[in-house]
Structure formats: C-alpha cells, structure tokens
Chains A and B, each alone.
Chain A
C-alpha cells in the first residue's frame, strides 16, 4: 500500500479520516437530548461518496471500512451492516468514477442520490430480514432527502478546503501517472 508515486495521496487519506472523525465528533456533541422530529444529513457517507468520485486513489477500501465500522459502533447502529453497505456503495462509485469524469454535476448528483437511496433501502431490508428494529420511516425519509440536498454543499466544501475536483479525462498526476 505504501505507494510513493503520489505524495499528496496519503495526505488526502489523512484528510478524509480527519474530516470523518470531525463529523462523528460533532454528531456526538451532547447538545440535544430530545428525540428529534427530523434527521440531519448523513455527512460521513456524503463525504465518502464525493471523495470517491474525485480522488478514489486516496481512500482505500480498508480506510472506508474502518471509518464506517467506527461510525457504526459510535452511533449505536448494528455494527458492520451499514459499514458493509457503505463499502459496496463506495466500490460501486469507484468503478463508475472514470465514466463520470466528463459528466456534468447534475448527472453525478443523480447517480450518487440513486446509489444512496438504494443503499438505504438495502439497509432497511437487511434489518427487517434479520429482525432488527428499524428506525422510524419518517426519520429515514427525511435523512435521505436532507443528505441528497447536502451533497452539493459537501462537494463545494471539499473543493474549497482540499482542492478536490474531478479529474479531467486523461489527466495525469505530477509524476505523469494516469489518475
């Protein structure tokens, strides 16, 4: 894994882990103890998806799996289930990344939204299959809507902070390697 061909890669990996940790940290802040009537966006998955479509080489599967598993543990979710789905989702996007390079943003957004909705449905189906109590459907629906709405903002923020943008077709890195 210790590829040295692209120096910025591990920095970006570190950035991804840091961003996810910060997001989890803010979710854990003891600010509200009342049960909410609507769910906030799942920003970790947003960041993962956006990152995956921009710099897939900087987020290896093992990192995504570790981050998602940690999130499962911290957020009292069934451990492993959402992490596995996240991993599958990220790999789906990793394989689509090259094809989406020259697509306009709305198409990317549509693909991401569809993938996320399918993941959520799969999650609920799996929970039902394994007789795990599901979250209230209303909360899931609001979370899906809010997460999809938040995706462009996440992309914009990552673009600003980490200079993450989609590679142009045929773009190469500083060492001339194909990205």
Chain B
C-alpha cells in the first residue's frame, strides 16, 4: 500500500485510499474492542508494555541518572535560594513552636486548676474571663461567674499558679476582678523565707512594687511572696510571685500568675475569719482533776515493762 512511484500514481491512489480505510477501521476496531472488553485489551497493553519498556531499561537507567545528576547540579546553583527558603520555613516553624508552647502552658494551667491543693476549708469557683477592663488605666477582668454562683465581693482570685486579684463588683452572672496591678489594689503579703510583712501596691505596671517592708535588708530578689492573710480578706499562703529588683533598686514583685493570658480564673470561697472575742481565756495546762486520765494513760506504759521483762524470762525458760 501507499505506493508512491513514478508510474501510475493515479493507479495506486485508490489502493492507497483502501489501505487507509482498512487501517483506520482496524485502529477503530481496536478502540471499540477496548471500549467493550477493556480488561482483555488492558492485559494486552500490559503485555506490550512489559515487553517494550524493560528492554529500554538499559538506556533508561543511565539517562535518568544523568538527568538527575544535572538536576542536582542545578540545585547546587540554587543553594542560596534554598537557604532563604529554608530560613523562611524555619521562621514559620518557630511560630508553630511558640503556639505549641502556649498550648502546653495552657494545658498545664488547666491541669493545675484541676489538681491544685489548697486548704481544704477553701473551696473554689472556676470562671472564664469574659472581658478585660477595656481601659489602659484600669487593670481588671470580667468573669462569667456572679452572684448566682455565690460570688461575694472581696474574694481572692487565682489562676492555676498564683494570685491574680480580688473580686470587686459582683453582678448576677458576672463579676469583676481587680488585678494586683491596678492602682487601687493593696494586698498584704509576707516574703518568704524571712517572713517580712509588706504590701503590694498596684501601680499600673506589670510588676507591682513592695511597700511598707519592715526591714528591706532581709528581702532579696528571688524570695517568694505569698499572701499574709492580714486584714482577714485573703487566706494566708497563696503564692503571689517572686521578689525582683528594678533598675532603681526598688523591690517589686514578679507575679506568678500569667497576666498575659488570663483565661480561666478560680475564685476562692473564703471562710469568714475566726474572731477571738475574749482576751482572758488562758490556755493553761489542764486542771489537776483532769490530770488523772494522764495517770491512767501512764499506767499503760508501766504495764508494758512488766510484759517486756516477762518476755526475756520466757526466753530464758525456753533456753
């Protein structure tokens, strides 16, 4: 078919057309068979590929290797580009790491809220921070617990770690917490281990100063600051923070509570402070009439030596 000689091109033209028709019909038939009975033709295709492609393998492997080699060379040229790219990615990774750390801290804080051990006389009400003060001059947050949850003005508020402030203003469903950093906040504390009494006076800075220290020589940066319970408002012994010294040599408190992210707060239900009304009730040794039970108690150890002396005898008898 497809003869294309000098002699009789016109003669061969119909033959060529016939050949073309036959070939196209054949190819179309292959297509139709494939369409009708695809698996069989696909198996045939796989057989063809199986025959053809591995026979090219001897050439394919080196060519592929060469092309890969050139690509590697190109990638060497792109080294600076890749470097900046990697640096950018590293930056993103840092952001993710930060997020992970924050989540870890939040998790720890929540766990802490659940497991915190306090004076069993203290019970707590947990609340979520709804809003902050909205003013740069007022340091307070709004909690989603209020009078219907039994919140009372003046109660201490903590996050998982340290004291945050006290309740100042209770609504039906919300309550406001005035933070230790607010200028209206005054909290009596004691500095451990020296036991010095002082006041934390909020001054609208992240680290409120310690005022009215009895003997500031005994207070060192790094000392623990806990609430003292003076005045009967706060329970004693709540962690407030650590002593730190600012540039001017003034002692301040680095608060333990995470003020950057106040989210879940705990309102401590304070027991009313016990009042000692009388002055003269001497807590003396018990009267002599009550001393007899002591004598009775003493009688038991008296009997014990007898028993113990009996035991060696029994041993002696046995021996």
Contacts and interface: CB of A to CB of B under 8 A. Distances in A.
A119 to B, nearest CB: 13
A155 B52 CA distance: 28
Interface string B6-42: 1000000000100110011011111110110000010
B73 interface: no
B63 A83 contact: no
Contact of B29 (A26, A30, A61, A80): A80
Given A79-B30, A79-B41, A60 B52 contact: no
B276 interface: no
B5 interface: yes
Given A5-B6, A25-B60, A31-B67, A79 B34 contact: yes
A17 interface: no
Contact of B27 (A1, A65, A76): A65
Given A78-B35, A79-B31, A81-B31, A1 B24 contact: no
* SS class, residues of chain A in contact with chain B: helix
B20 A61 contact: yes
B203 to A, nearest CB: 61
Nearest to B4: A57
B71 to A, nearest CB: 8
Contact of B53 (A28, A80, A87, A88): A28
B167 to A, nearest CB: 61
Contacts of A145: none
Contacts of B64: 29-31
A3 B3 contact: yes
Interface in B249-275: none
A73 interface: yes
Nearest to B38: A78
Interface string A67-93: 011100110101111011001100100
B1 A79 contact: no
Contacts of A130: 31, 35
B45 interface: yes
A80 B27 contact: yes
A1 B31 contact: no
A178 B4 CA distance: 10
Nearest to A84: B27
Contacts of B28: 80-81, 84
Contacts of A87: 20, 23-24, 27
A62 interface: yes
Contact of B34 (A25, A28, A80, A88): A80
Interface in A109-136: 130, 132
B23 to A, nearest CB: 5
A163 interface: no
Interface residues of B, number: 33
Interface in B48-84: 48-49, 52-53, 56, 59-60, 63-64, 67-68
Contact of A80 (B5, B31, B48): B31
A83 B27 contact: yes
Nearest to A61: B2
Interface residues of A, number: 34
A70 B56 CA distance: 14
Contact of B5 (A3, A30, A68, A132): A3
Contacts of B59: 25
Contact of A60 (B2, B29, B30): B2
Contacts of A5: 5-6
A80 B52 contact: no
Nearest to A91: B20
Contacts of B6: 5, 177-178
B238 to A, nearest CB: 60
A6 B186 CA distance: 112
Contacts of A79: 30-31, 34, 41, 45
A65 B34 contact: no
Contacts of B53: 28, 74
Interface of A: 1, 3, 5, 25-26, 28-31, 56-57, 60-62, 65, 68-70, 73-74, 76, 78-81, 83-84, 87-88, 91, 130, 132, 177-178
30 contacts: A1-B2, A3-B3, A25-B56, A28-B53, A29-B60, A31-B67, A57-B4, A60-B2, A61-B20, A62-B2, A62-B23, A65-B23, A65-B27, A74-B49, A74-B53, A78-B35, A79-B31, A79-B34, A79-B45, A80-B26, A80-B27, A80-B31, A80-B32, A80-B34, A84-B24, A84-B28, A87-B20, A87-B24, A130-B31, A132-B35
